[in-house]
Amino acid sequence: MQKKSFGYTNLALNILEKILGTRFTLNGLGNIPKDQPVMFVANHFTRSETFFLPYILYKYTNRRVRCLADNHIFLGKFGDFLRSIGAISTKDPNRDNIIVSDLINNSYDWIIYPEGSMIKSKETRNEGVFVNYTPYRIGPVRTGSAVLALKSELLRQDIVESYHRQLHSITNNNQYNPYLERYSTHIVPVNITYYPIRPGINKIQKVVARFLQNIPKQILEELEIEGNILMNADINISFGKAINLQEYIATSRNLIQQIPIIKGETKNNFIIRYLRLKLTNHFMEQIYSDTQINFDHIFIGILKHYSETKIEIDHFKRIIYYTANLLQKTRRYRLNSSLLEENLIHMFTDEPNTAFSSVFDLAITQNIIVYDKNTQIITINKECFEKKTDFHQIRLENTLQVIANELKLMENINNIIKKTTKINKEELIYLVYQHIYQHDLENFNHQYQTFFDEKFSKKPDIGKPYLLEDNLNNDSVFADLGIILVHGYKSSPAQMQNLAQFFNSKNIPVYAVRLSGHGTSPLDLKNTTWQQWLESLNRGYATMHQFCKKVIIVGFSTGGLLALYKASQINKDSKLKAIVSINSALKLKDIRAKMVPTINLWNELLEKFDINKGKIEFIDDKPETPEFNYSRHYISSVVELENLMQKCQQELNKITLPILTIQAKHDPVVNPISGDIIFENINSKHKKIIKPDMWQHNILTGQGKETIFKEIANFIKEIP
């Protein structure tokens, strides 16, 4: 194999990766032994694995890896290209000798797909041994890769031992490679997981169709599925713990070597016959148990294991959420980012959620579920899980069955899913909202300890988020209305305490959000973004979404901006029914805020020249309510506030919810024109503006706050 040719291939695939936007993530690179011959054994789902897996290994480890490729694609110039990068046809009569020779001498590593062919259906079962189900063959996974790896190790040991016995008739001293004694063949199991797997016309398919006509149906299917994988999927490649064959065969070889009379080759064949199936099952177990679990696995697993044929959509989402969190707690499985806590809560934020909507729409399209929007009930078509689909069309016609087949081998995960599907509705609501809330408290405690500052930090009770729901009606798991309170910039949830108690005294549950970076110390706020503040609001929203039929967000200052932005992003069926914007900071009065962009630009200029002297990182001031607020502005966080102000103003015309705008006439921090801008630019039919004759910015804690509280309460009563 020409090294230059392999380098060109690496360059071409690198460019292709950037063009297609393919997202490779790698795990376990440290498991690949250095300076040792390796046979990589991997699961086989797409034809493109033949090209990208050697590329990935070369790119990240500088290892040159050869592979077997289907003999049908060794045609013309493309076949010449495959040979130039070291690929060998599955029908090459010398393939086994070449593989064994490369491994003995550590000339090249090899990738073998022990399944023997692409398993498009992912239907592999563990029936004591791993069995593949394909149209060509139903039977145990091929043991050829194990045989070749074992043979290379046994022959190398024979060569080394014969040299030391000075058997010149077998080994020529002049040609003996002393490095052989340092080598041991290793098998590294490789799991390749794709997420998401989706059918649909793609650019690669369109390009091929322009140049070729009458494309066979099987090739069209591969272009459609694999084109979408290359362009839109996360491709996770995980390298498992290496199997050192010198150690693996040691006991068996020592025993058999003691048998007299039998020739060495016969002894080796006996060892191979004894270990081939055992070794194959060993690494196949490692391959399949290392599957990266993603959102689709949990989605289809719940549909399969749910005992009824009908399920409420919110209950379904809660099962997904709780199952994923149970999996996280076990620490036994590799989870795709779609199952991380920060992504899962978006099922409950009433905003577009790609992970859920993508697989949900696919399930509807492929007739696995029927959804009634009026009742919000999902009907599960259980027959789809037993439906027989053509092997070469199953990835297109019954995609989720393919994913369900992949899940079959993971018995423990299926048991967890079965367990969560049996939790009753009321208990699951409690478990989910408590989990989200506790996660918020744990996050605050961690941030508080990390950023604690004796000069700037307040007591923990000032900064932590809180949920007031003790006086909910015990006869029902649901509250009719819940209120989310969002504090201002540099402040803390305690700022909203009086308003929270006012509403809670009226039997309304209240969640006071802690915006990221707040309630700890100014340094914590330094590197947070406005998107992180929004995520904090979304976590509070996800909590209230569980047990409140309707939700209202009351935001003060920066919290008001976040409430406005949230209102501009929700879907039509949202539980969010109104917002209250109090002294929202669209325009600031303080002249120092106008200086911030210039200061930030100056700081960036100094950074480019690696100059620290002269930087202005923060501005100190005396806040109006020092018991709640930081007394230090970091320039970077003020820039984030400016970004939020601009983004919010751009989105105002999307707001159609009922809204109450409150803007103090003599606000010393926010330019009072902010209230008018909000009122005039929103498209709500039910909107109201109040301009109290007040001189402070924080009108929720000072004199006259009771009047503001009553105005908010009256507005809520008037909401249609």
Find, among 47, 121, 45, 22, the residue nearest to 400 by Cα: 121
> How far is Cα 68 from Cα 53, in angstroms, rounded to an integer?
12
Q: What is the structure's pLDDT at 616?
A: 63
Do residues 261 and 233 make contact, with C-beta atoms less than 8 angstroms apart?
A: no
Find, among 336, 321, 390, the residue nearest to 191 by Cα: 336
- CATH number of the domain located at residue range(s) 3-198+233-289 in this protein: 3.40.1130
Find, among 249, 40, 267, 278, the residue nearest to 150 by Cα: 249
Q: What is the structure's pLDDT at 645?
A: 94
Q: Which tokens is 344 given?
A: 């899962």
**What are the φ/ψ torsions at residue 143 (nearest 5 degrees)?**
-100, 10
Average pLDDT by stretches of 10, the chain with 720 residues? 58 66 89 97 92 86 86 70 75 92 94 92 91 88 95 93 68 67 96 96 81 80 89 93 96 83 81 95 96 97 97 97 96 94 95 94 96 96 88 94 94 96 95 95 96 94 92 64 96 96 94 97 94 97 95 97 97 93 86 48 47 61 84 85 94 97 93 95 96 93 92 93
Give me the numbers of helices (H) and strands (E) for the chain, helices first please. 27, 23
Q: Starting from the edge strand earliest in sequence, which strands make up the sheet with 576-582, in order?
A: 466-468, 510-513, 479-486, 548-556, 576-582, 659-662, 687-690
Strand-pair partners of 89: 69
CATH class given for the domain over 449-718: alpha beta
**What are the φ/ψ torsions at residue 335 (nearest 5 degrees)?**
-110, 135
Tell me which amino acid residue 395 is: R
Q: Could you give the angle at the alpha carbon of 291 between the alpha carbons of 287 and 292, nearest 5°?
A: 150
> How far is Cα 425 from Cα 606, in angstroms, rounded to an integer?
58
Number of Cβ within 10 Å of residue 659's Cβ equals: 23
Q: Tell me, yes or no, if the two domains 3-198+233-289 and 449-718 fold the same way.
A: no
> How far is Cα 7 from Cα 506, in angstroms, rounded to an integer?
71
Tell me which amino acid residue 444 is: F
> How far is Cα 154 from Cα 471, in angstroms, rounded to an integer?
74
**What are the φ/ψ torsions at residue 483 (nearest 5 degrees)?**
-120, 135
What are the pLDDT digits (tens) for 364-423? 999 999 999 999 999 999 988 888 899 999 999 999 999 999 999 999 999 999 999 999
Distance of CA 182 to the CA centre of its chain: 41
Q: What is the structure's pLDDT at 168?
A: 53
> How far is Cα 15 from Cα 391, in angstroms, rounded to an integer?
33
Number of Cβ within 10 Å of residue 286's Cβ equals: 19
Burial of 352 (0-12, 13-18, 19+ CB in 10 A): exposed
Total residues found in the chain within this entry: 720
| pTM as predicted | 0.90
Number of Cβ within 10 Å of residue 366's Cβ equals: 18
What are the pLDDT digits (tens) for 104-143? 999 999 999 999 889 999 999 998 899 999 888 888 999 9
> How far is Cα 270 from Cα 263, in angstroms, rounded to an integer?
11
Do residues 294 and 327 make contact, with C-beta atoms less than 8 angstroms apart?
A: no
Q: Could you give the angle at the alpha carbon of 632 between the alpha carbons of 627 and 634, nearest 5°?
A: 140
Half-sphere exposure for 513 (CA within 13 Å, toward CB): 32
517: left (phi over 0), alpha (psi -120 to 50) or beta: left
Q: Where are the domains positioned within the chain?
A: 3-198+233-289, 295-423, 449-718
> How far is Cα 401 from Cα 407, in angstroms, rounded to an integer?
10
Number of Cβ within 10 Å of residue 591's Cβ equals: 7
Which value, to the nearest 10 degrees, does the dihedral of the CA atoms of residues 114, 117, 120, 125 take? -40
